[in-house]
C-alpha cells in the first residue's frame, strides 16, 4: 500500500515537471545588451535534428513550428523580427537557448542543463522563437553557451 502511494505521488510530480519543461518563455530587457527581446524556449519530441539552425520566419509561419503554448504569448508587430532557433537532438531535456553579445553582434547559443538540474530522460529537440528589433543582426552559435 505504501509503495503504491509513493508511486502515485512520483507519477503526479513527474507529469507536473514535464509540463513545466516543455516551454519556458522569457521576456527581457537586457541593459548590458541595450536591446529588448523575447525568447520562448520549447522542446519538440519525435523528430530528429542533426545540426543547429536559425531561420527568419514571418508571423503566418509560426503555427507550423512552435507549440500552441508559445504561440499564444507572442505579440508580433511590424517593427519586430521573428526567428526560429533549432538545436540538434539531445539525450535529455533541460536545454534552452540564450542570447549573448560578442562585440557588435548578438549570438544565440544553447545552454546545457546544470549537473544538479532535474531533467526529463528522453530525446528532445530544443527550439526557441526569438522576437527582436528588426534592425538587429542575430547569429546562431554552432555550439553550446560558455559555462
φ, ψ at 16 (rounded to 5°): -65, -45
Residue 19 has pLDDT above 60, yes or no: no
| pTM beyond 0.75, yes or no | no
Alpha-carbon distance values, 135 to 80, 87, 92 (Å): 8, 24, 35
Residue 101 has phi, psi (to 5 degrees) of: -105, 130
The string of pLDDT tens digits covering residues 70-119 is: 788 777 666 678 889 999 999 999 999 998 876 667 889 999 999 999 99
Q: What is the pLDDT of residue 78?
A: 62
CA distance 91 to 36: 32
Residues in a beta bridge with 126:
43
Q: Average pLDDT, stretch 13-36?
A: 45
Residue 53 CA: distances (Å) to CA of 48, 78, 112, 129: 13, 24, 17, 12
Q: Quick one: CA dihedral 24, 29, 34, 37, positive or negative?
A: positive
- For cell 560578442, the residue is 102
Separation CA 101–CA 39 (nearest Å): 15
Q: Which residues, listed in sequence order, are joined to residue 94 by a DSSP beta bridge?
A: none
Position with higher pLDDT, 81 vs 19: 81
With 70 as the cut, is the pLDDT of residue 12 above it?
Answer: no
Angle at 82 between CA 101 and CA 75, to 5 degrees: 110
Give the residue, 3 or 18, on which the prediction is more confident.
3
Residue 25 has pLDDT above 60, yes or no: no
Q: Of the ranges 13-22, 34-43, 64-73, which one carries the lowest mean pLDDT score?
A: 13-22
Amino acid at each position: 500500500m505504501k509503495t503504491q502511494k509513493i508511486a502515485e505521488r512520483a507519477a503526479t510530480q513527474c507529469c507536473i515537471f514535464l509540463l513545466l519543461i516543455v516551454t519556458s518563455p522569457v521576456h527581457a530587457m537586457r541593459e548590458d545588451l541595450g536591446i529588448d527581446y523575447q525568447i520562448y524556449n520549447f522542446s519538440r519530441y519525435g523528430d530528429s535534428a542533426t545540426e543547429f539552425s536559425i531561420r527568419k520566419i514571418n508571423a503566418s509561419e509560426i503555427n507550423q513550428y512552435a507549440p500552441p503554448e508559445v504561440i499564444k504569448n507572442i505579440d508580433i508587430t511590424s517593427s519586430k523580427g521573428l526567428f526560429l532557433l533549432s538545436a540538434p537532438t539531445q539525450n535529455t531535456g533541460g536545454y534552452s537557448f540564450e542570447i549573448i553579445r560578442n562585440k557588435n553582434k548578438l549570438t544565440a547559443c544553447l545552454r546545457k542543463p546544470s549537473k544538479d538540474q532535474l531533467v526529463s530522460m528522453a530525446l528532445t529537440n530544443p527550439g526557441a522563437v526569438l522576437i527582436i528589433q528588426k534592425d538587429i543582426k542575430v547569429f546562431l552559435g554552432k555550439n553550446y553557451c560558455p559555462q
